[in-house]
Amino acid sequence: MTDLLANTQNIVENKLTTDYDYIISGAGCAGISLLLRILKEPQLRNKTILIIDSDLKQSNDHTWCFWEQGTGFLEHLVYHSWTTLNFYTDEHKLPLNIDPFSYKMIRSVDFYNYAKNLSCKRTKIHWKQATITEIGSVEDYAFVVADGNRYTAHYVFNSLLINEDKASYEADNCYKLLQHFKGWAIETKEPSFNPDEATFMDFRVGQDLGATFVYVLPTTTTSALVEYTFFNDEVLTTEKYDSLLSNYLERYCKLTSADYTITETEIGVIPMTNHQFRSHQDNLINIGTAGGWTKATSGFTYQFIQKYTAEIVTFLIADKPPIVEKGFNKAKFNLYDSTLLNVLINKKMDAKDIFYRLFSKQKPQTILKFLDNDTTLKEDISILMSVPTSIFLPAAIHELFSRPHKK
């Protein structure tokens, strides 16, 4: 099968190499979010779009969680949500009431299926399953080479870290931590969870491999997604994650392996870096993680994708270059992120102590706004006063003067 939408009439043959208005390179969270936002705009209804991905996007390869207030863009896809998040250390439990925010979960398989079903009805939207090997821009258009074929478009929206962008990331002497994790979706025989409350960060687990915590996201009394997460520089073997997950369930949820069935697994590695990803090169626009939209100190990306794809669509409607200018605000949060990475990488303070201080001294809503890069300077100062200045100020000064903080 060569097409993502083999059951539709939108089959792209290799010979079809004429121009598109837009090519979406990578049908992941950013590519599909952009597509969905374009599809909902009547002014963009006549645009021809090619979406290319090497994967058929048929499985639940990601579970995205994020917080927002009120009804969001893809509210109908929200699988479950919580307004109480629990934060644990060995000594403390903080029940965080995040209202008016909700912490929401979207399963990627629902997201992909929704996009495929919507595009089936549109003859100008073409999907192709192919491996992209090259992307670039030439004068006033951009191109993608996939499975040896070259496709051109007025704009290419790219979510792959590829070619010189990949080389530049690898060569950069920037901070490069990994947020890596394995999750099990489990079903228990007996009611074992409270679906009204999620465990946001459980730091009661060993910290000997760097910042380590567990999420428990119950969706019913008998089902939950449990994820074991690390911030360090080396992923573990599958067996090691499995043994840690099973120990955690036994110790903190009182569940032995006979009490539950694993229905799905999720493995992830998210870059935590202060590398300045290139936002665009002429008509080639980088989006998603490849565009630098991942928050360096949390790995959260979903809401930044929503924010920036909405901005891109506004530019497309206005017939302006769809380049997200992040300006002073982004530079400010780049500095905060670099400072925290500096503290973590140089082991100046444990993540569990930093996050405990933040969540115990500030309203959780303020911290969520901070993690969304949405706080005011006054709020930033109050947040920064929650952590030891003797540690964070020298780190911030170092980051301010030792590294470029590009837009």
By CB under 6 A, name the binding residues for ligand FAD: 26-31, 52-55, 62, 64-66, 131-132, 159-160, 266, 268, 270, 288-290, 299-302
For the CB of residue 137, give the shortest distance to ligand FAD in the complex, in Å: 18
Beta bridge partners of 86: 95, 199
Distance (Å, whole) CA 11 – CA 126: 7
Q: In this structure, what DSSP letter does residue 233 have?
A: S
Q: Which is nearer to ligand FAD, 38 or 387 (CB)?
A: 38
Question: Residue 30 or residue 50: which is nearer to ligand FAD going by CB?
Answer: 30
CB of 400: closest distance to ligand FAD in angstroms?
A: 27
For ligand FAD, the closer of residues 275 and 387 by Cβ is 275
For the chain, what percentages of helix, strand and coil (3-state, to nearest 5) are there? 35, 30, 35
Q: How far is the CB of 302 from ligand FAD (least distance, A)?
A: 3
Q: Which token pair is 313?
A: 């669509």
Question: In this structure, are residues 75 and 306 in contact, taking their beta carbons and an 8 Å threshold?
Answer: no
The full length of the chain comes to 407
The SS3 of residue 125 is strand
- Closest CB 348 distance from ligand FAD, rounded Å: 26
265 or 346: CB nearest ligand FAD = 265
Q: How far is the CB of 258 from ligand FAD (least distance, A)?
A: 28
Q: Which residue is nearest to ligand FAD (CB)?
A: 28
| R_g over Cα of the chain | 22
DSSP 169-208: HHH--S-EEEEEEEEEEEEESS----TTEEEEEETTS--T
Minimum distance of ligand FAD from residue 278's CB (angstroms): 14
Nearer to ligand FAD, 64 or 228 (CB): 64
Torsion angle of alpha carbons 235, 302, 289, 146, nearest 10°?
A: 100
Looking at beta carbons only, is 372 or 399 nearer to ligand FAD?
372
